[in-house]
Amino acid sequence: MTKKYFTLKEANELLPLLEQELVTLQQLQKNFQTKLKQLNELNANKKRSDEVRIFTLESELEFLEMEAQLHLRNIQSRGVQLKGVDLGLLDFPALLNGEEVLLCWKQGEPEISHYHGEYEGFAGRKPLK
């Protein structure tokens, strides 16, 4: 499979769609953590009367995980790398002056304005201009 490289324009045009996927993933993650906490509490003080609720929570957790995988695939299938759900970090492979870089976007930024090398990560961000 050929590696996809984004222009700055292409990457910025995808941001609204990707941000919606990211917001959905963040909500799913929050719901998952809430239900997992409830399940752990029920399991810690397990009573026979809790069996149906435990089964329901386990089923809901499985569904949330499947739904999250779908949204993750929606991001990855476009060639975008999700680097952090909580912080909302996305990387877009690109070529800058003939060098492979990652255009870097953090949720809340109006557009992509930074990049970093493949192994530098968020801490190594440099401004594009």
Q: Can you give the pLDDT at residue 46?
A: 81
Q: Can you give the pLDDT at residue 1?
A: 57
Q: Can you give the pLDDT at residue 119?
A: 87
Q: pLDDT tens across 35-46, in order? A: 999 999 998 988
Q: Can you give the pLDDT at residue 92?
A: 97
CB atoms within 10 A of CB 115: 22
Query: Does residue 50 surpass a pLDDT of 80?
Result: yes
Between 122 and 40, where is the model more confident? 40
Mean pLDDT for the stretch of residues 46-51: 85
At 34, phi and psi to the nearest 5?
-65, -50
For residues 68-95, one letter each, b for 16 or more C-beta atoms within 10 angstroms of the residue's C-beta and e for the rest, the string is beebeebbeebbbebbebeebbbbbbbe
Query: Does residue 30 surpass a pLDDT of 90?
Result: yes
Distances (CA, A) of 2 to 5, 79, 92: 9, 10, 15
Q: Which amino acid is at 42?
A: L
The residue ranges of DSSP E strands in the chain, in sequence order, are 81-84, 89-96, 99-106, 114-116, 126-127
Predicted TM-score of the model (pTM): 0.88
Domain boundaries, the chain: 8-127
Q: Can you give the pLDDT at residue 12?
A: 98
